[in-house]
């Protein structure tokens, strides 16, 4: 039951905010790392590319972790195993 609830919570959050967060990563990361003068994605430095690749992975891991915590809390509150 907890795994199904974790999956449902994760998918709801991904479908609600996933596209916006992904677009924000591609727009905000170069701006935050000082790449305002880049003409395209080929002009970005290596550390900007690493950040663009690693940040979604870290955020997905946090999302799944928080979904597990939330589903465990809900199941414990309702007394469901």
Return per-residue pLDDT of the chain as tens, 81 residues.
788 888 898 888 888 877 787 788 888 888 888 877 778 777 888 888 898 899 889 988 998 999 999 999 999 999 887
Please state, in angstroms and rounded to a whole number, the distance separating the CA atoms of residues 49 and 45.
Answer: 7
pLDDT at 40: 78
Q: Are 25 and 52 in contact (CB under 8 A)?
A: yes
The pair of three-digit structure tokens given for residue 44, joined into one six-digit string: 């970005």
**pTM for the full predicted model:** 0.75
């Amino acid at each position: 039951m907890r795994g199904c609830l974790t999956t449902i919570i994760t998918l709801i959050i991904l479908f609600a905010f996933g596209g916006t967060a992904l677009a924000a990563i591609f727009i905000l990361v170069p701006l935050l790392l000082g790449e305002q003068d880049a003409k395209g994605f080929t002009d970005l430095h290596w550390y900007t590319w690493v950040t663009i690749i690693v940040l979604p992975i870290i955020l997905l891991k946090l999302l799944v972790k928080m979904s597990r915590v939330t589903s465990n809390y809900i199941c414990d509150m309702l007394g469901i195993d």
